[in-house]
Amino acid sequence: MVSQRGRRARVTPDADNAPTAEMPAVAATAEPEAVRAKSIPEAAVARLAVYLRVLSGLAEQGATTISSEELSQAAGVNSAKLRKDLSYLGSYGTRGVGYDVQVLVSQIERILGLTRKHKVAVVGIGNLGHALANYGGFPGRGFPVEALFDLDPDLVGVPVGGLLVSHLDEIPKVCAERQISIGVIATPPTAAQSVCDRLVAGGVQCILNFAPVVLQVPAHIEVRKVDLAVELQILSFHVARRADLAANGNGGGDGGPGGAENGSVNGHGNGMVVR
């Protein structure tokens, strides 16, 4: 077992920030998709997920095309960075027309691996686990919750969100049988590592960890950590900085599409702090 470091793609700063000009539409590159996906910086991947959310909403409203400026405003990122991000997909838009919404949705879904379903297991059916188990938005986005686990005898065998809660000891067996690919850990920190080990033994490839602890995992396992306390501390920093600026007679702030407050796409990886 080795420590999970929250691996990041190695790129120079210019690779993520250099502006690119909007170009006429071109055919998608023949580069193998796995290779192309591997070359995308992690920060850009987080922004692609934001673009997909915006574009999916526009598609539901009947929009067929969108300019880079319109999409960048809706996503809270500058248009040059957006065009750079979309160029990783081999998508450049058409001058004077913009991007085809449905084409972009398909391209981003393909790169993010959303063309197939990823079965999810939630471990720890407390308040957070209950909320995740009952959230109806996961299945429609390709993440059906297929298994629930807890240690509490009052919960084991009880249906939550239409699924029976299984015991923690059954994690390897159930995850293997149901082909679970993503495990969500919503347990106290003292139980998180043991739960993680069971998930890995059951063939789970990716783990979303809500427990405030660093997990030890094999090198091939991907871990994303959601640390709400850290996010609140970051927000506290911005509040304190604004108060200092106001006290010094400086009315400048951090708002706007390129500002530091848009941490979900510019600064803090879609609200997740990786450990």
Which of 237, 187, 236 lies closest to 213, judged by CA? 187
- CB-CB contact of 182 with 205 (8 Å): yes
| Residue 126 annotated as lining a ligand binding site | yes
For residues 87 and 97, what is the distance between their CA atoms, to the nearest angstrom?
17
For residues 266 and 44, what is the distance between their CA atoms, to the nearest angstrom?
9
Helix (H) or strand (E) holding 165: strand 163-167
| Residue 235 annotated as lining a ligand binding site | no
Residue with tokens 């919750």: 145
For residues 40 and 9, what is the distance between their CA atoms, to the nearest angstrom?
7
Whole-angstrom Cα Rg for the chain: 21
For residues 209 and 215, what is the distance between their CA atoms, to the nearest angstrom?
8
**Distance between start and end Cα atoms, the chain:** 16
| Residue 78 annotated as lining a ligand binding site | no
| Residue 161 annotated as lining a ligand binding site | no
| Residue 125 annotated as lining a ligand binding site | yes
Which residue numbers belong to the known binding site? 124-129
Which residue numbers belong to the known binding site for NAD(+)? 124-129
